Amino acid sequence: MDAKKLNTILEDHSAWISGGDDEGRRAHLVGQDLSGVDLRGADLRNADMRGVSLANANLAGADMRNANLANGVLLNANLQSTLLCQADLSDSDMRGANLTDCDFSGAEIWRCNIKGCTIAPDALHAMLACKKP
């Protein structure tokens, strides 16, 4: 996807978030290849991003609460300080991603591959909803 089209989608999405159904349009990025894109600090709340490729993308500080990233590819993505509360990450591939200071509260992580990710042990335990002994 070219940068101009992506910027238009993000602007429409921002208007949709601000104004509800009467303004803009929800970001629909299903199956798009956004590998290597710089979306630092982007507001992608509630975006439909099923099957998106964000390999090597920079999403540091992005707001992706309630986003649907099921079956997404986030290989080696930078997700440092990203809000992923209530996001659907089921069946996503996040191998090698930087998950430092991410908030996964209530996120769906069923069969999410996080092998080789950078994440603090306490954050990993919270993400996986581990019970303390």
Q: State the CB neighbour count (10 A cutoff) for residue 119.
A: 20
Q: What is the mean pLDDT of residues 7-22?
A: 88
CB of 55 closer than 8 Å to CB of 76: yes
Q: Are 52 and 74 in contact (CB under 8 A)?
A: no
Task: Identify the band that residue 133 occupies on the pLDDT scale cut at 50, 70 and 90.
Answer: low
**What's the confidence (pLDDT) of residue 53?**
98
Q: Where are the domains of the chain?
A: 27-133
* Per CATH, domain 27-133 is 2.160.20.80: yes
Total-model pTM: 0.90
